[in-house]
Structure formats: C-alpha cells, structure tokens
Amino acid sequence: MRKTCLDYVYELAKQDERVVFIGSDLGAGTLDQFRDEMPDRFFMEGVSEQNLIGMAAGLAMEGFIPYVNTIATFITRRCYEQLAVDLCLHNLPVKLIANGGGLVYAPLGPTHLAIEDIAILRALPRMTVFAPCDKEEMARLVPQTLDMDGPCYIRLAKGGDEIVSDQARGFQMGKAIAMREGGKVLIVGTGITTTRALHAAEELAAEGIQCGVLHMHTVKPLDEAAILDRLSDVDLLVTVEEHTLVGGLGSAVGDLLLDKAPNAAGRLVRLGIPDTFSDKYGTQDELLEYYGLQGPQIAQRIRDGLNDTGARVA
C-alpha cells in the first residue's frame, strides 16, 4: 500500500510540476526514481517533523502541492500544532502520508502505534482523513488528492493487505462504499477493519445472518447519508476500527446518531481499542485479535448484540 501510494505520488509529480515530495528519514531507496528524475522537488529533510510541516506550508503558500511522508505517530503527535496552525488554519493543500496506521508497528510497541491518529486529526477543522482498505483502493485515492482543497491525512496499512476493494464500486472522496448490502446488521469499517468486517459478514451469512458492510474510507468528512439512509433497515449498527474508542470512527458515528437519529443510538455497538496503551508486542494480527477485532470475534459480538447479551462497547 505504501509503495502504491508513493508510486502514484511519483506519477503525479511527473505530470504536475507543482507536486513536491518531503520525507523525514525514510527507508533507503524510497522514491529513488523520483529523486533521480526530479531532484529539485524531492526533499529528505531529516527527523524534524515540525520543520517538515512548516516547510510544506511555506511551499504550499507559494503554489506547490507537497506530499509529506513519515511514520504515522510522528506525522501526527510530534507536529500537531503545525498541522493545526500551519496547514489547517491556512487551509493549505498539503497531503500527509502516514506509514503504519493503527497496530501495524506492533513489534515496536506503543511509541509507534498510531491508535489515536484519526481522533486527533478529525478534531482539526478543514482536515480530511482517509483510511483506504487495500493498495488498489489507494491507487484510486491518490490521484484524486491532487486538486483537493485543504490538507488531508492518508493512513497507510501494513502492506500486502488482502484486496477487497473493487474498481467497479468506484471511489469518491467522502462517499462510503457499500461492500455488501442487506440484512438487519450493518457493519461500518475503515481501513483494514473493513476487511475484517467482511470476514465476519461471510461467517454470519453461513449461519443465515445477513450483514451489510459499509466501507468508510473517508472518516472525515463522514458520509452521514450512507449511515442515516440505512438505519431504518437495521437492528444493529456496528463500527469496527483499528483505533482507540476515544474519538475515532465509532465516536463519529455515535455523534451522528445522537445529533440526527437519537432513537437509533441504542442500536450502535462500537468495536475498537480500549483507552489504553498496548501492553503486548507481536504482530498486527495478534494485536487485532487481542483487542477482539478479527473477523470471528466481530461475528461473535454481532451474535451477542442480536441476542442483546453483549456490552455495547468493546
């Protein structure tokens, strides 16, 4: 997914002289072709996230379109004030490419787990937040970012992620994609949790429980209509996120229901990571299981929810 994303940045840069790339201290060989062919627009500026964002802001004020890339925790936490003031306040078209969103860096521990990135980015006015589910969807997303107004955040998954998106369903920023229709249950996922939601839906379908799956690749702005329009058909609305339950997709959906469909709020079950730092290492999949976010676990939570025996949050 990261390679796909950066390959498209390279393609955009070849087509459009306004595109510049700014990295921190990325892996050896990253975008070598970009550097070799367009050295003036390739910047690797060191481990200085505040400076990267400010510099990107200055370039954007002068008409350039910077794509900034580093690890998700550092491009969010370390330079949050620069994101708020330099990018969002000025509404500048700077794209943030965040390596390792969620639990990807499981073996590296909590310093590298970006599990509150969506919450803090979503809190910033004018920021758009994307979490595509696989590399093919990434390929549809990146070209669309070129001419969008204001800053955006692109949360990258681990790489080698199962392909579940489909060209035929298209891709439009801010428009959720129905990956699976029908049933009395609607699961809303973002990023790779959409894939886990699909696994759960398949498992439940075999038992005669039909679940719709809505892929919220754009968490902000939230596609409110996609949820509200389906509410009357569902007994259970389940959000699944590789993110803390504080302020992410589940919170966004919960806010929506409280504001616009309060009677439906009791039908919402939010699955995610509890308000804690991870105390385990291992792999992304192991941590997803630890937090109850793999397909079979989601399926069980839905069975519990339908029987009204489960708690309403993870």
Partner 1 sequence: MIDLAALEREAHTVYQPLPLDRRSRDLRRLVVRGLVGGGRGHLGSALSAIELVRVLYDDVMAHDAERPDWDKRDRFLLSKGHGCLAQYAILADHGYFPMAELDRFCRFEGILGGHPDAAKVPGVEASTGALGHGPSIAVGMAVAAKLKGAAHRVFCVTGDGEINEGSVWEAAMTAGKHDLDNLTIIVDYNKLQSYERTEIVQDLEPLTSKWESFGFAVRNVDGHDVDALRRTFETLPFATGRPNAVIAHTIKGRGVAHAEGDPSWHHKSKMSDEEIAGILSAIEG
Note the residues at the interface with partner 1 (CB under 8 A): 20, 40-41, 43, 45-46, 48, 50-51, 53-64, 81-82, 85-86, 89-90
Closest CA to 273 of 292, 295, 253: 292
Smaller CB distance to partner 1: residue 55 or 214? 55
230, with CB counted inside 10 A (0-12, 13-18, 19+), is middle
Q: How many angstroms separate the CA atoms of 181 and 183, rounded?
A: 7
Smaller CB distance to partner 1: residue 90 or 140? 90
* Residue 182 CB, nearest approach to partner 1 (Å): 47
- Tokens representing 307 are 């029987």
* Residue 228 CB, nearest approach to partner 1 (Å): 33
* Residue 8 CB, nearest approach to partner 1 (Å): 21
* 87 alpha-carbon distance from chain centroid: 19
For residue 102, report the phi and psi dihedrals to the nearest 5 degrees.
Answer: 70, -130
Smaller CB distance to partner 1: residue 86 or 203? 86
Smaller CB distance to partner 1: residue 46 or 109? 46
* Residue 26 CB, nearest approach to partner 1 (Å): 16
Closest CA to 73 of 112, 27, 122, 125: 112
* Residue 89 CB, nearest approach to partner 1 (Å): 5
* Residue 200 CB, nearest approach to partner 1 (Å): 44
Smaller CB distance to partner 1: residue 70 or 82? 82
Closest CA to 148 of 242, 70, 220, 49: 220
Closest CA to 164 of 191, 141, 185: 191
Smaller CB distance to partner 1: residue 60 or 164? 60
Name beta bridge partners: 99: 71
